[in-house]
């Protein structure tokens, strides 16, 4: 068995890649990427968002999100508008094409859920809760100062 098969991080990485590939195949007929789909889902469910709140929600920095939104705007998936009361704030709304895709893509969540092999909604909810806790814990660990590795005893000299 390869050593990577025993690593939690590799299992998460492999599962993420497999899930993203499934989304890629499902979204390809509409010319959408997985991040674009996540933006649309957020707007459909949560409503209009500021660029900042969208970035926070999707855990994307502005260097990633701004070009993504620009491409989406060119395809009429979203619209970006500066607020008149504070031009530093940009609001993102669904464009005409973005609104029409909601019904066309309604099958995607069920297809992905079926692909997980999880037996029921409770199992999926349990997995999501576990992954969210893991994400929070890892963010906290990454934010704390690095701890030096414990000192290892010197090997005994050969006899």
Tell me whether residue 95 is in a domain.
yes
Tell me whether residue 54 is in a domain.
yes
* Number of domains the chain contains: 1
Give the residue numbers spanning the domain of 60: 33-104
**From CA 145, how far away is CA 139, in angstroms rounded?**
12
Tell me whether residue 152 is in a domain.
no
CATH for 64: 1.10.10.10
**From CA 77, how far away is CA 118, in angstroms rounded?**
32
Tell me whether residue 98 is in a domain.
yes
User: In tens digits, what is the pLDDT along the chain, a chain of 159 residues?
Assistant: 788 888 888 999 999 999 999 999 999 999 999 999 999 999 999 999 999 999 999 999 989 999 999 999 999 999 999 988 888 899 999 999 999 999 999 999 999 999 988 888 889 899 999 999 998 998 888 888 766 666 666 666 666
Tell me whether residue 51 is in a domain.
yes
């Amino acid at each position: 068995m390869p050593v990577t098969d025993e690593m939690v991080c590799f299992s998460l990485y492999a599962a993420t890649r497999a899930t993203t590939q499934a989304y890629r195949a499902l979204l390809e007929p509409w010319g959408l990427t997985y991040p674009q789909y996540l933006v649309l889902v957020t707007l459909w469910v949560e409503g209009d968002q500021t660029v900042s709140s969208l970035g926070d929600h999707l855990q994307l920095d502005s260097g990633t999100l701004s070009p993504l939104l620009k491409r989406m705007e060119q395809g009429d998936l979203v619209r970006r508008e500066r607020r008149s009361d504070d031009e530093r704030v940009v609001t993102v709304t669904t464009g005409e094409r973005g609104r029409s895709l909601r019904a066309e893509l309604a099958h995607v969540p069920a297809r992905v859920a079926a692909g997980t092999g999880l037996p029921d909604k409770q199992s999926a909810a349990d997995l999501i809760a576990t992954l969210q806790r893991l994400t929070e814990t890892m963010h906290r660990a990454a934010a704390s100062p690095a701890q030096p590795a414990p000192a290892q005893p010197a090997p005994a000299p050969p006899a």
